[in-house]
Amino acid sequence: MTRPGPAPLAALALPLILAAHLGVGADLGLGRMLSLVAGAPADAFAEIRFQQATLPRIAMALLTGAALGVAGSLMQQVTQNRLASPLTLGAASGAWLATVAATLAMPAVAATHGAWISMAGATGAFALVVAITGLHGLSGLQAVLAGMAVNLVFGAVAGALVLLESPYISHLFVWGAGDLGQNGWTWVWWSLPRLGAGLLVALCLGRLLALLRLGAAAAEGRGMALAGGLALAMGTGLFLTSVAVTAAGLIGFIGLVAPNIARRSGARRPVAELAASGAAGAVLLLLADTAAVGLNTLSRDLVPTGAAAALMGAPALVVLMRGRLSAADHARYALPKGPARPSRAALAGLALALALALGAAVALSPGADGWRLARPDGLIWSLRWPRILVAAAAGGGMALSGLILQRLIRNPLASPDILGMSSGATFALVATAMWTGASIFDVGVAAALAGSMAVLALLLILSRRHGHAPATVALIGISLAALLDALVKVALATGSQDSIAILSWMGGSTYRATPAAALALAGAVALAAAALLALRRWLTLVAAGDAVALARGLPVGPVRTGLMALAAALAAGVTAAMGPVGFVGLLSPHVAAMLGARRAGDQIVLSLAVGAGLMVASDWVGRTALYPMQLPAGTIAALLGGGYFLALILRRSRG
C-alpha cells in the first residue's frame, strides 16, 4: 500500500483546520461568513472583526507558514542537514535583533525598509554560523549548536535594548513571541508580493538543488558555479525568513519540522520537496494559530502564535529525528586548540585579570562628582559584597555546569542554557510566581531545581533508546529549551508591569542579592568544584567515549546520570539566585582549554576562575556603564562573552 503524498494530506487537513479556526475565532454562521467573504458589507462588530481581523489573520498564517516551510527546505537541501532551519542557523534571531535595533534607532526607516533590515540581520547571523563551523560543518550537529550560540549572543543584545527602552516598546514583547493578530489587510498586502516573489524564485531552483545533492565536485563538473548557486539558494531562504519575521515576528520550528514532514510524506525531488514543505508549513502554522486563538478564548492573557508553534514543533522534532542520527554521534570530545599545559604567563595573566575585576567591583565606581577609587564605607560595603559574591559564584557555577555538559555531549558548544536546563529552571520559577502571585525574586531554589531536574529526566528518558548518544541528548535538549522559552514568552507577551519585572529578572541581575543567598550559592559551588576535582577521572573517561570508559571499568550510565544531575543542579541554583545566565557556561571551559587546561582537573580550576571573573566584571560594568541606570550582570556577561567568543571564531576562520 503506497503512502499518501504530501499534497493530498495538506489538501485534506487544510479545510478541517480552517473550519476549526473559524469555529473558535468567529461568532458567525457559515452562510453569513460566505457572504462576507464574497464582499457583502459588514454591519455588526462581529462581522467587521471577521473581515478585518479573522480573515487577514488566516491569510497571514498561510503566507508566513508557507514562506518558513520553503525557507527551511532550502536551507536543509543546501546544507544536507535535516536540522537546518531559520531557527537553528541563527537567521531568525539575527532578523529579530536587526529589527529591534532599527525600531529603536530609526523607526521611520524600519517602518519603510523593515524587510531589508531583517535581511541584513539574518545574513549576518548566518555568516557567523558559517564562520564557526565552516561550509562543510553546516551538514552536522555542530551547525545547530553554533546557531544556538549565535542566538544567545543576539538575544542578549536584543534583550539589553528592550530593557533600556521597556516603558516605550511593550509591543515588542508580543512581536518577539510571534504574533499573527491583524487589524486590517495592510500586512497581508505588504507580504504577498514579497513572499510571492521569493517563493517563485525558490521553485525555479530545482536544477541547482538537484546538482547540489550530487556533491560539490559533481555539481561543478556539470557547469554549476557553486558559490553563486549556494548564495542564491541561501539568499532566497534568508529573504523569505526576513519577510516573515518583519510581518509576524519570531515563529520557530515551522521551518524545521515542515521539510521533515514533506520528506516523510514521500516528497523526493527538490521542487516537490519545496512545494510540499510550503504546504506543510502553511497547514502547521494555521494549526498553531488555531490553538493560540482557542487558548486565548480560555485565558485573559495573550497566547502568541509563536509559542503555540513551539509547543507543537518541539515534540514533533524529537519524534521525527530520534531515529535518524548517525554513528558519528558517539565521537570523542575534541578540546579547542591551545597549549598542552597552562603556562606561567597565562596563569599570571588570568590572576591579574581576576584581581583587576575584583578590585574594580569593590572600589571603583561613578558618582555625582565623577569616578571614584576608594574603599567603600560600611553601608556601601554591606550592599556591595553580596552582589560581588553572588556574581562570582554564579559565574563559577555556570562554568562548571558547562564543562560537565561539554564533556558528556562531547562538543565544546554545549552548555546548560543551550540544552534546556536553565530554561527548565526559568520556566519553573516564572510559572510558580504566576500561579502563587509571589514575586519572581522570592520564589526560591526548590522550584528552579524541580524545573531543571524535570528537563534532565526528560533528556534521559527520551535519549535512552539511543544509549544517550551525544547528538540525541543535544537535539532533545535544544528542543526542550525552545519549548520552555516559548512558554515563558506567553507570560511576557502581555506587556504588563509583571512582564517587565520578569524580563528584568531574566537578564540575570544581582540587584536583590542578600548575604544569606550569596553565602549559600558560594558554598554550593565550592562543594561542586571539590566533588568534580575528586571525580576528574570520570570526566576524562566519559569524554573519551563510551567504549573507552567501559573498557576502563567505568559504569557509564550511572556516571552520566549523576554528572548531568550535578550540571542541572548548578544551573538551577544559579538561576534561582540571580535569574538565567547565558553564555558563561559555554565560554568559560572553552577559554580554559585555550589557556592550556587539557586535563580535566586543570580545566575545572581554570573554568571556575574564568567564569567567576567574567561575572564579577559583568556585574561591575552593569552597575557603572550607564550610571545611574543599571543593566543585569547576566546580560552584560552574554554581551562581553559572546562578543569575545565570536571575535575569536572570526579570527580563527581568517587564519
The three-state secondary structure class of 384 is helix
Distance, in Å, from the CA atom of 568 to the CA atom of 116, rounded to the nearest integer, reads 40
Distance, in Å, from the CA atom of 257 to the CA atom of 259, rounded to the nearest integer, reads 6
Per the CB < 8 A criterion, the answer to whether 594 and 336 are in contact is: yes
Nearest to 167 by CA among 418, 500, 491, 447: 500
CA atoms within 13 A on the CB side of 99: 30
Distance, in Å, from the CA atom of 424 to the CA atom of 429, rounded to the nearest integer, reads 9
Chain Cα centroid distance, residue 498:
23
Distance, in Å, from the CA atom of 192 to the CA atom of 383, rounded to the nearest integer, reads 56
Task: Band the pLDDT of 328: cuts 50, 70, 90.
Answer: very low
Q: Let me know if 44 is exposed, middle or buried by CB neighbors in 10 A (0-12, 13-18, 19+).
A: exposed
Lowest mean pLDDT among 116-130, 192-206, 382-396, 498-512: 498-512
Distance, in Å, from the CA atom of 575 to the CA atom of 578, rounded to the nearest integer, reads 6
pLDDT value at 439 more than 90: no
pLDDT tens sequence across 445-458: 888 888 888 888 88
Q: Let me know if 384 is exposed, middle or buried by CB neighbors in 10 A (0-12, 13-18, 19+).
A: buried
Nearby residues of 48 by Cβ (< 8 Å), 6 or more positions away: 42
Distance, in Å, from the CA atom of 427 to the CA atom of 506, rounded to the nearest integer, reads 10
Q: Which residue has the cell 523526493?
A: 268
* pLDDT value for 196: 92
Alpha helices in 579-599 (DSSP H): 584-594
User: In the beta sheet, which residues pair with residue 367?
Assistant: 370
Q: Supply the mean pLDDT for the chain.
A: 81
Per the CB < 8 A criterion, the answer to whether 290 and 21 are in contact is: yes
Amino acid at 313: G
Per the CB < 8 A criterion, the answer to whether 430 and 488 are in contact is: yes
Task: Band the pLDDT of 603: cuts 50, 70, 90.
Answer: very high
The percent of the chain in helix, strand and coil, each rounded to the nearest 5, is: 75, 0, 25
Q: Which residue has the cell 482557542?
A: 294
For residue 299 the three cell numbers come to: 485565558
Chain Cα centroid distance, residue 42:
43
Amino acid at 187: W
More confident residue, 599 or 215: 599
- What angle do the packed helices 600-624 and 584-594 form, to 10 degrees? 130
Query: Average pLDDT for residues 140-164, to the nearest whole number?
Result: 74
Query: Average pLDDT for residues 113-134, to the nearest whole number?
Result: 86
pLDDT value at 327 more than 50: no
Domains and CATH numbers, the chain: 58-321 (1.10.3470.10), 385-654 (1.10.3470.10)
Lowest mean pLDDT among 236-240, 257-261, 393-397, 429-433: 429-433
Per the CB < 8 A criterion, the answer to whether 649 and 150 are in contact is: no
Give the DSSP letter of residue 50: I
DSSP notation for 196-216: HHHHHHHHT-HHHHHHHTT-H
The three-state secondary structure class of 499 is helix
Query: Average pLDDT for residues 194-213, to the nearest whole number?
Result: 88
pLDDT value at 182 more than 60: yes
Distance, in Å, from the CA atom of 328 to the CA atom of 454, rounded to the nearest integer, reads 28
Task: Band the pLDDT of 138: cuts 50, 70, 90.
Answer: confident
Considering only the C-alpha atoms of the chain, give the largest distance between any 2 of them, rounded to a whole number of Å. 82
* pLDDT value for 326: 47
Task: Band the pLDDT of 309: cuts 50, 70, 90.
Answer: confident
* pLDDT value for 169: 56
Torsion 282-288-289-294 (CA) sign: positive
More confident residue, 541 or 319: 541
pLDDT value at 437 more than 80: no
pLDDT tens sequence across 37-89: 887 887 888 888 888 888 899 999 999 999 999 999 999 998 888 888 888 88
Torsion 164-170-171-176 (CA) sign: positive
Lowest mean pLDDT among 110-124, 252-266, 302-316, 596-610: 302-316
Query: Average pLDDT for residues 514-535, to the nearest whole number?
Result: 93
Per the CB < 8 A criterion, the answer to whether 565 and 456 are in contact is: yes
pLDDT value at 507 more than 70: yes
Per the CB < 8 A criterion, the answer to whether 175 and 52 are in contact is: no
Strands 364-367 and 370-373: antiparallel
* pLDDT value for 3: 55
User: In the beta sheet, which residues pair with residue 370?
Assistant: 367
pLDDT value at 462 more than 90: no
Percent of the chain with pLDDT over 90: 22
Q: Let me know if 167 is exposed, middle or buried by CB neighbors in 10 A (0-12, 13-18, 19+).
A: exposed
Assess whether the previous peptide bond of 628 is cis (omega < 30° from 0): yes
End-to-end CA distance of the chain: 55
More confident residue, 556 or 535: 535
Cα distances (angstroms) measured from residue 140 to each of 79, 82, 146, 254, 513: 9, 9, 10, 20, 41
pLDDT value at 2 more than 80: no
Percent of the chain with pLDDT over 70: 84
Per the CB < 8 A criterion, the answer to whether 440 and 433 are in contact is: yes
Alpha helices in 80-225 (DSSP H): 91-105, 107-112, 114-133, 141-164, 171-176, 186-203, 206-212, 216-221
